[in-house]
Structure 1
Amino acid sequence: MRQTRLRPPRLKAGDGVTVVSPSWRGGEVFPQRAARGAADLTARTGLRVSISSVKPGLCPESRAGRAEEFNRAVQDPATRAILWMIGGLTASELLPLIDYEAFGARPKVLCGYSDATVLHHALYARTGATTFYGPALLSQFAENGGTPELTMDSFAELTMRGWTGRFPTASEVIEEFVDWADDSRPRRAVPALPRKALRPGLAQGPLLAGCVPSALQLLGTPWLPDYRGHVLAFEFTDDNGYGPGQAARDLWQLRHAGLLDGVEGLVLGRPRGWSDAQREQLERIVLDVCHGTAFPIVTEFEFGHTDPVLTLPTGVPVELDNTTLTLLEPSVR
C-alpha cells in the first residue's frame, strides 16, 4: 500500500494555472465557453488561468504535440497548477512521453477527471504524488450561470486551503443536457438522490479515484498503481450507450484482474442520467462482483461525471464510515 507524502504546494491568489488538453481539444471547438470558464475560475479564486496551446510546428492532435504541451506545463516554474480542459479518449497515447521525473521532483496541483484517470494513476504509480480527480475547465468551470458552489468550493478548499473533514453532500444535481453550441441559459437543477450504503462498514486508507473504463486501460502496463490498501472512488463514463451492462463488463474485469483484492472500501460515483431501474441493476451487479469481499460500499457519491462535483485527492488518507467520507490529512503542503 502506497501512503504518499509527496503533495504539491497549496495554491494562493495570483498563482498561475495552465489549462492543457491531453485528450480532446474541446477548447478549440468551443473557445468562448473555455474563456468563460477561465474567467469564472479567475474571478472566484484569484488564480491566474491561461489556456495552453501546442508548440508551433507540432500537430495539435498528435501525441507528440499533446505530450509536449503537458510536459511544458509540468516543467514551467510559473505554472503552479495544471487543469484539464476536458476528457476524451486518447490520454493513454501519452503515457511513454510524460516527464515523470520532472513531476516527481516538483509536484503541482493537477486536476481533471474521466480520461485524465490514466495520467493521474500513472503519475501516482511512478512518483507517489498526490493529484486531484475533480472538475475540468470546459465541463465544470464554464457552466452558464457560473460554476456550482459545491464544485468551486471543494476545488478551492482542497487545493488552496488545505481542508480536511467530511466531504459535503449535494442537495441538488444538474443532469439536463444543453448543447454547448447554444448554451444560452443555465441548466436546471433537480433534487439529488441521497448516498446509499450498499454494504455498510468502516474503512481507512489512502484514496484512489478514477473512471473505471479509463483505469482499465492501464491493465498489464507499468503505469498501473497498486490498489491494495486503498479506498477506491470509482465512477463511470456518461458516454452514449454506457449503462449497467457496460458497467458490469468493466467491474468484472477489475475483479478478474485481482484489482479489488485487498482494497479497503469502494465509493461509487453518481451515474449521470440513469433511471431508478438502472441504478437498482447497478447495485445488484456491484454486490455480485464484490461477493466474497468484506469492504464497505457506498453509491451515489458526488464526483466524476456529475454536477456539482467534489474534488478528490489521490493518495491522501480517508475514512469511509457508511455514507460519510472524511479526509484525514491536507492534500497540499
Structure 2
Amino acid sequence: MIKPKRLQKGDTVGVIAPAGTPQPEKLEKGLIFLNQLGLNIKLGNHVFNQQGYLAGTDEERVEDLHSMFRDKEISAIFCARGGYGTARIASMIDYQLIKENPKIFWGYSDITFLHLAITQLTDLVTFHGPMIASDLGEEEVDLITKLSFSQLFSPSPIEYTEQISTLEPIVNGIAVGPLVGGNLSLITSSLGTRFEIETKGKILFIEEISEQPRVIDRMLNQLYMAGKLQSSAGIVFGDFNHCVAESGPSLTLEEVINHYVRLSNRPALRGFQIGHCSPNFAIPLNVTAMLDTKMRRLHVESGILS
C-alpha cells in the first residue's frame, strides 16, 4: 500500500476532467469551496474541452492526468465530474509515473475505473469522494459531504454508523480487509481486462445510479459468476439512486440485492449514503476496513496518509 501525503492549508491541488466536461458555473462553485479549505487550485489545460460526451480527446484527458501527477507543486488531484470515458484512457496511462509520484486522487462514478486501474497497477490509496463540479456545484451541499474533505487534512479513523443513515444487515457477520470498489457498472466492465477488480479477502463496496433492477440483476449475476461476490470478505452497499423499474413486472431492487448476497453468503450491509446521493460520504479505497453487521458500522483504519 502506497500512502499519499496529507494536505495542508496553502497546498496547490489540481482539478481535471478525465470523463465528461463540467458545467463552468458548477465548477466555479466547487473551486470556491476548495479555496475556502485554504487550497490553491490549478486547472487541467483541457478541463473545458468537449468532444461529444467526452472532455476532449483521450490524449488530452490523459495529458491532464499525467501533468498533474508530474507537477511537483500539486499535492492532490480532484476530478471535476464523472459521466463516461475513463475506461477509454486506462490503457494509455503511465502507472509508473503515478507510482513514483503518489498523490491524493479523488472522485467517484465513472472515475471508478481509474480507482481500479491505479489500485491494481500501483497499490496507491485513492479516495471515493464527491466531485468538484457535479456535487459541490449544487445549490445546496450537505454538511456531511463538505466534512468528508477533512480526512485529507487530519487523517483519523473513519466511522460510518446509523448516526448518518439507517443501515440494514442482509447477511450477518464481521468482515475485515482492504476496501475496494465503486460504481457497479464500472466494476463489471473491468472484468476480463488487465484492470479487473480483485475482491479475494477484500470488502467490496458497490453503488449505482439510474439502472433498473433487471440491469442490476445482470451485473450482480456477472460478478457472482466471475466469483467476485463470494470471494470477498464482505459487501458494502452504497446508494442506488433511482434504480427502479420503468414499466412492466419487476423484482424490486431489494429482492435482487438480497438474492445475490445470500447466494454469496458474505457479511453485507446496505443503506450507506455513499455515491450519487446527498450527503455523499467519502471513503478511502485500498485501505483496511472492518464491516460489522451486528453493530451496523463500517470502520476504516487511520494512517491512510503519510
Q: What is aligned with 2:38?
A: 46
1:326 aligns to what? 299
CA distance in 2 between partners of 1:168 and 1:106 (Å): 34
Contact 1:248 1:285 in 2 (8 A): yes
Alignment pair present for 1:88 and 2:83 = yes
1:66 pairs with 61, 64, 71, which one? 61
Equivalent pairs: percent with the same residue?
26
- CA positional deviation for 1:258: 1.6
Which residue is equivalent to 1:300? 271
Choose which of 34, 56, 63 in structure 1 pairs with 2:27: 34
**Worse-superposed segment, 114-123 or 279-288:** 279-288
Q: 1:201, CA displacement in angstroms?
A: 1.4
Q: Deviations over 1:238-273 (max 9, x none)?
A: 3xxx12111111111111112123211101112224
Residue number among 10, 17, 30 corresponding to 2:6 in the alignment:
10
Pick closer, same or farther for the CA change 1:279–1:306 going to 2, 3 Å.
Answer: farther
| Runs ≥4 residues deviating over 6 A | none
**Equivalent residue for 2:95?**
100
- Report the equivalent of 1:269: 238
Q: Which residue of 1 aligns with 2:201?
A: 229
Q: Which amino acid aligns with 1:25?
A: T
Give the Cα separation in 2 of the matches to 1:206 and 1:100: 21
User: Contact conserved, 1:170 with 1:308, CA < 8 A, in 2?
Assistant: no
Paired residues of 1:9 and 1:109 also in contact (CA < 8 A): yes
Question: Which amino acid in 1 is paired with 2:195?
Answer: W
Secondary structure at 1:270 match in 2: strand
Cα drift, residue 275 of structure 1: 6.5
Work out the CA distance in 2 between the residues paired with 1:292 and 1:71: 42
Q: CA deviation at 1:285?
A: 1.3
Matched, 1:156 2:127: no
Separation in 2 of the partners of 1:263 and 1:274? Answer: 24
Closer, same or farther in 2 for the Cα pair 1:23/1:58, shift >3 Å?
closer
CA distance, structure 1, for counterparts of residue 175 and residue 139 of structure 2: 38
The one-letter amino acid of 1:42's match is N
Count of residues paired in the alignment? 298
Rate the CA distance shift 1:47–1:61 in 2: closer, same or farther, 3 A: same
Unaligned regions of 5+ residues in structure 2, if any? none
Q: 1:168 to 1:138 in 2, by over 3 A?
A: farther
Between the aligned partners of 1:168 and 1:102, the Cα distance in structure 2 is 37
Deviation of 1:8 (Å)? 0.4
Q: 2:208 aligned with 1:208, yes or no? A: no
SS at match of 1:210: strand
* Alpha-carbon displacement from aligned partner over 1:156-181 (angstroms, at most 9, x marks no partner): 22x1111204125565xxxxxxxxxx
Give the conservation status (yes or no) of the 8 Å contact 2:6–2:154.
yes
Q: What's the secondary structure of 1:137's corresponding residue?
A: coil
- Paired position in structure 1 for 2:74: 79
Partner residue, 2:108? 113
Q: Is the 8 A contact 1:155 1:310 kept in 2?
A: no
Change (3 A) 1:42 1:104: same
Deviations 1:129-167 (A, max 9, x none): 10001111112222224x32111112222x111120412
2:221 is the counterpart of 1:252: yes
The TM-score, its normalising length taken from structure 2, stands at 0.90
The runs of 5 or more residues in structure 1 that have no matched partner are: 172-192
Is 1:243 aligned with 2:180? no
2:133 match: secondary structure = helix
Deviation sequence 1:31-69 (CA, Å, 0-9, x none): 1221111002221x21213322229x9975210111111
Structure 2 CA distance for aligned equivalents of residues 275 and 249 of structure 1: 14
